[in-house]
Amino acid sequence: MVRVRFAPSPTGHLHVGGARTALFNWLFARKKSGKFVLRIEDTDLERSSQEMSFEILNALRWLRLEWDEGPFYQSKRLHLYRRMAERLVEEGKAYYCYCTKEEIEQRREASGKGRAWKYDRRCLHLTEEERKKFEEEGRPKAIRFLVPEGITEFEDLILGKVSVKNQDIEDFVLLKSDGYPTYHLSVVVDDHLMKISHVIRGADHIYNTPKQILLYRALGWEPPLFAHLPLILGPDRKKLSKRHGETSVLAFREKGITSLAMVNFLAQLSWSPGEDRDFYTMEELVERFSLERVKKSNPVFDLDKLAWLNSKIISSMESEDLWEEVLPFLKGEIRKRAEEKREWVLKVLNLIKERSRDLREVGEKLERYLVRDFQYKEDALKKHWKPGAKEGLRRLLEEYRALEPFNAEGAERALRSLAEKMGRKAASFIHPLRVALLGERVSPPIFDVVEVLGKDEVLLRIERALKELPD
Ligand code: GLU
């Protein structure tokens, strides 16, 4: 049975890399009819916050990556980690270390090796007296893992064989002197107890894996399989970071990115179904997903691609789905009005979803349909409000007053025959009409707009333009 997990540390927002990890775990679980476990790794008290945990859960919900078990909070499971660390001490596979940070730093400096210095096992070789003395002094003690000799290897499901000499691994701390576990201990204990079959995570963890495999063996447990996802790079080909701009997933939601666009973007960061299609539904992604198709090369984070996907997805969405996504972008009174006229708004959405970059833009466009006293846009006036515009609209208003039934076809016919009568081009009516109805330079096909607004509203909007706009 496939069981995977997403195990974020709630020390910051869920960023793009973390979200991709969550997505790949979720896709793999769904594809294999397995389970997707959510575990919050909040053992670093100072850097973790409950607020961030909630935010991460929100981001996962927004991406529709629902979990089957959890969230489990490591801060509630401390006794388990302590027990395992003590067990390893009893079995001679770990030892108490009384060295203080300062002492360790001093020895590191004296060695001249800097960061290459490894813990010198001083506490492994303490005499009984020395140990007793430390205990009597009440010195805080940590538990360090006794790294055995040899070579540790594993076959990464994406990156291939990884091999590390154990002599390059220091006796790392399992349990800190304050009683809190280090990441290596808690991750191994939990992955085992939660019966995780595959650990899928970012490649920044690849050199943690040999340490963890050593721990599994020391505890007498079978390690899971590992798959490390290649690091995401910024456009300058350096590791993606804040320098490259916004990387928090929820910030993209605020910018009007749809969750499906985000998911497709994240999926395509390291994976390709090998088909010539722009995007997939969640179900289609699940159907096609496999770890074999995850690419080894480092993907580049390309915001233009995300924007392009988003626009494509918005224009292909059913109005009902778009409605759900746009609603949060409408404020106060406007939102209320939209909710009251839901059926009508669905028709409007059908018109405006083409050529919209993001949900914010859809919201702004929609607002122009919902309120009559919108602002005429400067660029629209400059381009389309020419001398003669008013005269034409005045005549068109007469025609439209008399028009029955009032629909797109009739409105177009009336406009064209008026243009002919006045010896003018139809465009010299259409553009000012667009300005009068929506105040914008571009819009959906204008006669569709006329029909969806309806007779009363069209007449009122033309009257307003005639009153407020210059000759
Ligand atoms: N809490 C770790 C992180 O957020 C999890 C790493 C792992 O998946 O093992 O990086």
Which residue's alpha carbon is at the smallest distance from atom 5 of ligand 1? 7
* Ligand 1 center from residue 184 Cα (angstroms): 10
Q: Which two tokens stand for residue 201?
A: 């995570």
Residue type for 400, please? Y
Q: How many residues does the chain have?
A: 471
Ligand 1 atom at minimum distance from 18 CA:
4
Distance CA 2, CA 155 (A): 18
Confidence (pLDDT) at 246? 84
Confidence (pLDDT) at 288? 97
Which residue's alpha carbon is at the smallest distance from atom 4 of ligand 1? 8
Residues near 51 by beta carbon (within 8 Å), at least 6 away in sequence: none
Query: In this predicted model, what pLDDT tens digit does every residue of 92-135 receive, in sequence order?
Result: 999 999 999 999 999 999 999 998 999 999 999 999 999 999 99
Ligand 1 atom at minimum distance from 212 CA:
9
Residues near 154 by beta carbon (within 8 Å), at least 6 away in sequence: 161, 162, 209, 210, 213, 223, 226
Distance CA 141, CA 365 (A): 63
Statement: residue 255 has pLDDT above 90: yes
Distance CA 215, CA 242 (A): 34
Q: Among residues 372, 379, 350, which one has the least CA distance to residue 436?
A: 372
Element holding 72 (H helix, E strand): strand 69-73
Q: Among residues 30, 49, 31, 28, which one has the least CA distance to residue 40?
A: 49
Ligand 1 atom at minimum distance from 204 CA:
10
Sign of the C-alpha dihedral, residues 355, 357, 435, 411?
A: positive
242-316 and 373-471, same CATH topology: no
In the structure, what pLDDT confidence band is assigned to residue 191 with cuts at 50, 70 and 90?
Answer: very high
Residues near 404 by beta carbon (within 8 Å), at least 6 away in sequence: 410
Which letter does DSSP use for residue 5 in this model?
A: E
In the structure, what pLDDT confidence band is assigned to residue 242 with cuts at 50, 70 and 90?
Answer: confident
Which letter does DSSP use for residue 179 in this model?
A: S
* Ligand 1 center from residue 47 Cα (angstroms): 14
Distance CA 431, CA 327 (A): 30
Residue with tokens 């915001």: 303
What's the whole-number mean pLDDT along residues 245-271? 95
For the chain, the domains span 79-229, 242-316, 317-371, 373-471
* Ligand 1 center from residue 185 Cα (angstroms): 12
Ligand 1 atom at minimum distance from 41 CA:
1
Confidence (pLDDT) at 13? 95
The domain covering 79-229 belongs, at the CATH homologous superfamily level, to HUPs (3.40.50.620)
N-term to C-term CA, the chain? 75
* Ligand 1 center from residue 18 Cα (angstroms): 9
Domain 242-316, CATH among 3.40.50.970, 1.20.1440.230, 3.30.70.100, 1.10.1160.10? 1.10.1160.10
Statement: residue 10 has pLDDT above 90: yes
What's the whole-number mean pLDDT along residues 162-166? 98
SS3 97: strand
Residues with CB under 6 A from ligand 1: 7-9, 41, 187, 201, 205
Pairing of strands 94-97, 142-145: antiparallel
Which residue numbers are catalytic? 242
* Ligand 1 center from residue 286 Cα (angstroms): 23
Alpha helices in 32-148 (DSSP H): 50-62, 78-90, 101-111, 128-137
Query: In this predicted model, what pLDDT tens digit does every residue of 323-347 receive, in sequence order?
Result: 999 999 999 999 999 999 999 999 9
Which letter does DSSP use for residue 141 in this model?
A: -
Residue in 3, 41, 191, 213 to alter for ligand 1 test, most ligand atoms within 8 A of Cβ: 41
In the structure, what pLDDT confidence band is assigned to residue 241 with cuts at 50, 70 and 90?
Answer: confident
Average pLDDT, the chain: 96
In the structure, what pLDDT confidence band is assigned to residue 369 with cuts at 50, 70 and 90?
Answer: very high
Confidence (pLDDT) at 301? 93
Confidence (pLDDT) at 244? 85
Confidence (pLDDT) at 308? 97
Domain 373-471, CATH among 3.40.50.10860, 1.10.10.350, 1.20.120.1730, 3.10.290.10? 1.10.10.350
* Ligand 1 center from residue 120 Cα (angstroms): 28
Q: Which two tokens stand for residue 148?
A: 């055995």
Statement: residue 349 has pLDDT above 90: yes
Ligand 1 atom at minimum distance from 6 CA:
8
In the structure, what pLDDT confidence band is assigned to residue 355 with cuts at 50, 70 and 90?
Answer: confident
Residue in 205, 206, 213, 228 to alter for ligand 1 test, most ligand atoms within 8 A of Cβ: 205
Ligand 1 atom at minimum distance from 208 CA:
9
In the structure, what pLDDT confidence band is assigned to residue 193 with cuts at 50, 70 and 90?
Answer: very high
Helices 359-370 and 332-340 sit at what angle, rounded to 10 degrees? Answer: 70
Residues near 423 by beta carbon (within 8 Å), at least 6 away in sequence: none
| Omega of the bond leading into 71 within 30 degrees of 0 (cis) | yes
In the structure, what pLDDT confidence band is assigned to residue 169 with cuts at 50, 70 and 90?
Answer: very high
Statement: residue 440 has pLDDT above 90: yes
Distances (CA, A) of 85 to 91, 93, 150, 301: 10, 9, 22, 40
* Ligand 1 center from residue 41 Cα (angstroms): 7
Statement: residue 245 has pLDDT above 90: no
Confidence (pLDDT) at 439? 97
Residue in 9, 24, 211 to alter for ligand 1 test, most ligand atoms within 8 A of Cβ: 9
